[in-house]
Amino acid sequence: MAKIILSREAYFHNLDIIAQKVGEVSKIALVLKDNAYGHGLLEMAKLSHEYGLTQAVVHNVKEAEVIKAYFEKILILAGYEYVSDTKYNYVINTLEQIEKIPEGTQVELKVDTGMHRNGVAMTEVEMALVSIQKQGLLLQGVMTHQRSADTLSSEWFWQRENFKTVKAEVLRLQASLDFQTPRFHSGNSASTFRFQAFDEDLVRVGIAAYGCLQMDKGLEQPKMRPVMRLVAQKIAARTLLKGEHVGYNATYRSEKEMVVSTYDVGYADGLLRAASNRYTTPEGEQLLGRVSMDNSTFSGERTSLVIFDDVNSYAQAASSIGYEVLVGLHPEIARVVV
């Protein structure tokens, strides 16, 4: 059966680079949302605990409950339901959300500094803090999200200045509203490597930890190693004669007699059809014909075939991004740590 191989060595190598950049392992919060970017929620939680990480970021309570035994603090990005647990901090994304959160819940306020996706407006910070206090919530942090940290432009600096303004406003209101000093954080994977000297309380890393970060030319590109490789098993091999076709709608025509094999991964497993006839594996085997629901055909007759060991190469062939391929990998594919 197809399986996903996870490299402990590559993962720890990536975390070493991140820890060196931010100064302390305690400042690293691993983003584990969406099945740990397809790597396996529980598998990556266990590896993170083994390395010494104490903080994680997830999408919802369901994910948090799966991994709570492995972390001291978990940041929950989407507040649809609230379970009382001192390990959990819930992100506030709108003013309207505040009144729906139970009294005594630990929260972190997200401020929109330019992403224009989630978070209260910069002009609403005081209103939000007053409402948080009135609702009896426990403010633990103030955060934002960078929209262009991996892009060679001035936008990272512009948003960073906006967040400095937010921080100053929060600290100004602290005395009058009488709340503890919250932690401040804005850094995602790409942003981590834009800091000349890291000066925040936390960094939220996902794609960098998994070894798939891509930065614009001219920006620092850390020497990360992909943690995952996707390996498929041969179902059958056959000899194609010159002029014969492969797969649905006969999109591939053999130019010579050749051996081809089908493997046990398809678009139901997360392979994108857009890569059909456009991709070559790390071992030099070509993807032939259209990807089917449960199988795909490649040149050669290897018993075991590495579909990719760097997701970005496969994503590029599909005119996509590594994130999309990773999170689309079926959760029932076995994840094996080596």
Determine whether 314 is an active site residue.
no
Give dist(CA 83, CA 185) in Å, integer. Answer: 23
Residue from 33, 68, 73, 167 carrying the catalytic annotation: 33
Is the separation of the CB atoms in 142 and 166 below 8 Å? yes
Token pair, residue 33, equals 């949302």
Count of helices and strands (H, E) across the chain:
10, 18
Whether 263 sits among the annotated catalytic residues: the reply is: no
Q: Is 229 helix (H, G, I), strand (E, B) or coil?
A: strand
* Residues 142, 251: Cα–Cα separation, whole Å: 52
Task: Give the pair of three-digit tokens for residue 225.
Answer: 């190693």
How far is the C-alpha of 273 from the C-alpha of 28, rounded, in Å? 36
The answer to whether 248 and 278 have CB atoms below 8 angstroms apart is no
Cα(10)–Cα(50) distance, integer angstroms: 14
Chain position carrying tokens 């490299």: 7
Residue positions annotated with a catalytic role: 33, 248
